[in-house]
Amino acid sequence: MKKFYLSVLSLILLSGCSASGPMYKPSEISSDKNAMIYVYRPSQFVNGGGYPEIKINNKSIGPLKNGGYLYKEVEAGKYTVLSEGNIMNWNFPDINVPVILKQGETAYLRLLSSASTSAIVGSMVYMGRDSNLHLVKPEHAKQEIKTMRLSN
């Protein structure tokens, strides 16, 4: 019975680390001069409880939680999208991705994290971790992002 309560408590704690906002709904670009940036993170077990801060040109648009997405309408132009971590909950190196947007264009960036076995020494397993933020083709991103929740 003790294991059951520990399992339930673990699920409750981990659910607080996942995106819990409304389900994805495309946002309309409000001006012909503007463009849209979406950053999303498919739900994964690896580092599922941690989350980076997402910044566009060094201005925060929020934390990107597991299974979540963020978006920002911007003027057409050149931008740097940053996935910024900290030692407390996202201990990966910062990632900068340059994005150039034309009027009316939408860019989709996907954040993934992974783990791999780096070495096995006796009974010890040393794990390597990595994260990746990259541009995704709109037709592929639209299929993935529709299952996400707004990260809040």
Looking at the 3D structure of the chain, how many domains does it have? 1
pTM greater than 0.95: no
Beta bridge partners of 124: 121
**pLDDT truncated to tens, each residue of the chain (152 aa)?**
555 444 433 443 444 467 767 789 999 999 999 999 999 999 876 565 778 999 999 999 999 999 999 999 999 999 999 999 887 777 788 899 999 999 999 999 999 987 665 667 777 766 565 678 999 999 999 999 999 999 97
Residue whose C-alpha is closest to residue 37's, from 93, 86, 98, 89: 98
Buried b (16+ CB within 10 A) or exposed e, 38-49: bbbbeeeeebbe
Residue 126: domain span: 2-150
Q: Phi and psi of 145, rounded to 5°?
A: -70, -20
Distance CA 52, CA 94 (A): 9
